[in-house]
Amino acid sequence: MSIQVNQLTKIYGQQVAVNQISFRAEAGQILGYLGPNGAGKSTTMKMLTGFVSPSAGSASVCGFDTVTQSMEARGVLGYLPEHNPAYLDLYVKESLYFMAGIHQLADKKKRIDEVIEQVGLGDEQNKKVGDLSKGYRQRVGLAQAILHDPQVLILDEPTSGLDPNQIISIRQFIKQLGQTKTIIISTHIMQEVEAICDQVVIINKGNIVANDTVDGLKKSYPQKTLEEIFVQVT
């Protein structure tokens, strides 16, 4: 139940967006994937989820190659993109039934009711997605990502648009999921990394510039906060 990335590279024309990166994330681990804008974070996410093919190197999800076994890899993967592409004209519950159909879930109603409860959408379930606040739309995206109970979750800015109370509850939920699943979180929020991540990978200009535990990074840069370390290495 792990993610394995080996010499993964993506080149667009003359620009090297991601340059021979390697890292792994194990089951029961939450990995924070950090970098400034344009560093290659989203490109990496898209390669791991099979939406973009690498120029070189490889990535696997639970042993399935993301290029040659993309359907199998997607079956064990849940993905929350940064710009959550929820169907705005559908009602919340309707959108989840639509996703449950795609994943061919056996007991759709039971699983949808569970997920609505888990992500705190109970009061919003009969509203149109387009009428929800950004924070609640984010919860719909998270519900869609976990609906088929995937072994691996890739979350791009999962607490974007949430108020402080929502952030705390969603972080607690992600931490709970991370006890048994492999989770990669792309975020700009250092507090989030310190609160929930076991491992940190920092990418800058397509290259990995740090790969360590939060404690390990702090030991390597004594008297520095995670934010200061991030600024120094990028």
Give the CATH number for residue 195.
3.40.50.300
- Pick the last residue of a domain from 117, 149, 181: 149
User: Which structural domain, as residue segments, surrounds residue 108?
Assistant: 84-149
C-alpha span between 137 and 116 (Å, rounded): 12
Q: Read off the pLDDT of residues 41-51 as tens digits, 9 standing for 90 and up.
A: 989 999 999 99
Q: Read off the pLDDT of residues 39-78 as tens digits, 9 standing for 90 and up.
A: 999 899 999 999 999 999 999 999 999 999 999 999 999 9
Same domain as 142, residue 227: no
Q: Which two tokens stand for residue 4?
A: 């394995």
Q: Read off the pLDDT of residues 182-199 as tens digits, 9 standing for 90 and up.
A: 999 998 888 889 999 999
Same domain as 160, residue 63: yes
Local confidence band at 85 (pLDDT 50, 70, 90 cut-offs): low
C-alpha span between 16 and 196 (Å, rounded): 31
Same domain as 189, residue 99: no
C-alpha span between 200 and 194 (Å, rounded): 10
Same domain as 207, residue 145: no
CB within 8 Å of 178: residues ≥ 6 apart: 28, 29, 30, 196, 198
Q: What is the pLDDT of residue 208?
A: 97
Same domain as 182, residue 123: no
Same domain as 218, residue 156: yes
Distances from the Cα of 189 to the Cα of 46, 84, 116, 171, angstroms: 21, 18, 26, 12
Helix (H) or strand (E) holding 47: helix 41-48
Same domain as 218, residue 158: yes
Same domain as 46, residue 6: yes
Same domain as 30, residue 5: yes
Same domain as 234, residue 156: yes
Same domain as 159, residue 48: yes
pTM score of the predicted model: 0.89
Give the single-character DSSP code of 130. Answer: G
Domain count, the chain: 2
Same domain as 31, residue 103: no
